[in-house]
Amino acid sequence: MRMVTSVSAMQRLAKSWQRKGVRVGFVPTMGYLHAGHLSLVKRARQIVGKQGVVVVSIYVNPTQFAPTEDLSRYPRDLDGDKKLCREAGVDIIFVPASKEMYPPEGGGFSTYVVEENLSKSMEGESRPTHFRGVTTVVAKLFNIVLPEVAVFGAKDFQQAAVVQQMVHDLNFPLKIVVVPTHREPDGLAMSSRNKYLSLEERPQALALSRAIQQAQRLVHHSKRPIAAEKLQTTLAKLISEHPAARIDYIAFFDPQTLRPLEKVSRGVQMALAVFIGKTRLIDNAKL
């Protein structure tokens, strides 16, 4: 396994792979890797095969954090990440510095990629600058790594949808693959931010998966569609039984268009964001 830190070196490698016809699978991450990330690496390897190359980027992207968010305290463990990547059979880890990704010279960085439709609701509403940062850094990474396929996790459902739209609209020559959410044995969606949870808060984080399970039960047992507002109220009551929990949003929407729905039935996608103490967690599932 090799670690690359400069954009120019990564691009040179990527172009050499292109010339040789080497298949490249890419997993963009912000580090502090866990089993969920490794499931993306595994999928990338399955797609490109033993003769292909799997690249993992590790970069905590500042442009997707608002000034009030947790950029400075976002968990980092590069040594641990390198060990996990090596064990998972990653070929290259790309670990750029911000001065590489957003060069300050020449008047500074001033070009951003913005998706105007799918990014407006849910995470986009709660974190107004978030998706501009995501689409910009992902576009840059695609241009640097030049992958044939990029693998994302379904836990960030809206993010995956926004990236897929960007790839379609801007004619990026690659395929996006979305891998199912990886969960702890008790149902909590794996996230680097789970590290923030105290011993008292960790069991209460199950409020998210329990709300999803309850919604699935109610929808599957109902003979007719359920009013979204009624279902939100029911789930809010369930979540409120966890003292550390504070709801940001509970949304029901069409999984293709992300359009919010007034009636909830089978096949509808659900997503929610809940603060457990100071830690904001997200989850989603098809009902």
- 175's CB contacts (< 8 A; 6+ apart) are 148, 149, 150
- Sequence-distant contacts of 83-87: CB under 8 A, at least 24 apart: 84/33, 84/37, 84/38, 85/1, 85/33, 85/41, 85/56, 86/1
Smallest CA-to-CA distance from 187 within 285, 110, 102, 44 is with: 285
254-264 per-residue burial string, b: 16 or more CB within 10 A, e: under 16: ebeebeeeeeb
Q: Are strands 2-4 and 92-94 parallel, antiparallel or unpaired?
A: parallel
Smallest CA-to-CA distance from 80 within 23, 150, 29, 19 is with: 29
- 237's CB contacts (< 8 A; 6+ apart) are none
CA-CA distance, 47 to 159, in Å (whole number)? Answer: 22
Mark whether 37 is an active-site residue.
yes
Six-digit token string for 199 = 């011993």
Q: Which residue is catalytic, options 37, 130, 182, 242?
A: 37
DSSP 183: B
240-253 per-residue burial string, b: 16 or more CB within 10 A, e: under 16: eebebbbbbebbbb
Give the bridge partners for 282, in sequence order.
Answer: 273
Q: So which residues are the catalytic ones?
A: 37
